Amino acid sequence: MDKLDRERTEYNDVGSIRIADEVVGIIAGLAATEVPGVTGMSGGLVGGIAELLGKKNLAKGVKVEVGEKEAAVDLYIIVEYGVRIPDIAIRVQENVKRAIETMTGLEVVEVNIHIQGVGFNPENKEEDIRVR
């Protein structure tokens, strides 16, 4: 499949507009990490190696399938210790759906959340210990 086949193309009187799948993935990843309680995205071994090499992937932990007018998204996230996971997952689904639909015009038919881990912020943990 060439690059053009992996992009959404829209035609109008002036020309065409193409949105690459990677762009939709970046939008989804950024929208997910905006939600309080999400500490990061899980990109697996390949994503970790890319970051070690200095290539930060903004679509890390995101898998998208984009059709002509619809998109489906799978997100692999790490949540903060102590949060209620179902509540965070619902907020992420809503935020990602809204961001993609607003920015691309695609209809998001599903946003699947995969909780890959639980993280905590060591700085906050130290502050909690000092206060007690």
Residue 12 maps to a domain: no
Q: What distances in angstroms separate CA 112 from CA 29, 64, 68, 121, 132, one per listed residue? A: 13, 10, 20, 25, 39
Residue 9 maps to a domain: no
Give me 117's structure tokens: 């881990």
User: What values do phi and psi take at 26, rounded to 5?
Assistant: -65, -45
Counting the structural domains of the chain, the total is 1
Instruction: Tell me if residue 93 falls in helix, strand or coil.
Output: helix
pLDDT value at 128 more than 70: no
Structural domain that includes position 100: 18-131
Q: Regarding predicted confidence, which is higher, 123 or 116?
A: 116
Q: What distances in angstroms separate CA 49 from CA 33, 41, 56, 79, one per listed residue? A: 20, 14, 10, 21
Residue 80 maps to a domain: yes
CATH number at residue 113: 3.30.70.1350
What pTM value is reported for the model? 0.76
Residue 3 maps to a domain: no
Q: DSSP code of 4?
A: G
Q: Do 38 and 77 contact (CB within 8 A), yes or no?
A: yes
Residue 113 maps to a domain: yes
Residue 77 maps to a domain: yes
Q: Regarding predicted confidence, which is higher, 127 or 40?
A: 40
